[in-house]
Homo-oligomer: A and B are copies of this chain.
Amino acid sequence: MSTFGRLFRVTTYGESHCASVGAIVDGCPPGLTLTPQDIQIQLDRRRPGQSNLTTPVCAHPPSSIFVLIDKTQRNEKDRVLLQSGLEHDVTLGTPIALMVKNEDQRPHDYSETDMYPRPSHADYTYLEKYGIKASSGGGRSSARETISRVAAGAIAEKYLKTAYGVEIVAFVSSVGKITIPSTDIHAPSSSNDDDDDDVQDALSENFRKLLATVTREQVDKETTRCPHPETAERMTKRIIRAKESSDSIGGIVTCVIRNVPSGLGEPCFDKFEATLAHAMLSIPATKAFEIGSGFKGTQVPGSKHNDLFVLRDNGKLGTSTNWSGGVQGGITNGEDVYFRVGFKSPATISQAQATAQYDGQPGSLAARGRHDPCVVPRAVPIVEAMAALVLMDQLLIQNSRSTAAALLPPITTLPPTMVMPSSAKNGKTV
How many chain A residues sit at the interface, stated as a range, is 35 or more
A125 at the interface (CB under 8 A from B): yes
A236 to chain B minimum Cβ distance, whole angstroms, is: 11
CB contacts (< 8 Å) of A108 on chain B: these are: 417
Which B residues lie within 8 Å of A305 (CB)?
120, 250, 344-345, 347
Given A301-B247, A357-B423, A399-B399 contact (CB < 8 Å): yes
Q: Bound complex: CA of A32 vs CA of B343, how far in Å? A: 35
**Contact in complex: B356, A241 (CB < 8 Å):** no
Tell me whether A94 and B267 are in contact (CB under 8 A): yes
Protomer copies? 4
**Could you tell me the distance between the alpha carbons of A357 and B164 in the complex, rounded to whole angstroms?**
27
**CB-CB < 8 A to A110: which residues of B?**
415-417
- Interface residue? A353 (CB, 8 A): yes
Give the chain B neighbours of A229 by CB distance below 8 A.
none
**Known contacts being A300-B250, A324-B120, is A407 close to B97, with CB within 8 Å?**
no
Q: Which B residue's beta carbon lies closest to that of A246?
A: B303
Question: What are the residues of chain B within 8 A of A360 when measuring CB–CB?
Answer: 310-311, 315, 317, 424, 427-428
Give chain B residues whose Cβ lies under 8 Å from the Cβ of A116: 309
Pick from B121, B267, B362, B418: contact of A140, CB under 8 Å = B267
The distance from the CB of A393 to the nearest CB of chain B, in whole angstroms, is: 10
With contact pairs A13-B83, A26-B11, A303-B353 given, residues A268 and B31 touching in the complex (Cβ less than 8 Å): no
Top-3 shortest CB links A-B = A122-B329, A359-B427, A311-B360
A252-B295, A281-B289 known; 20 new pairs, CB 8 Å cut-off, are: A2-B26, A6-B6, A7-B400, A18-B84, A21-B84, A30-B405, A31-B408, A87-B134, A90-B411, A119-B309, A127-B420, A128-B263, A145-B268, A177-B195, A194-B238, A250-B298, A274-B280, A274-B282, A396-B400, A399-B400
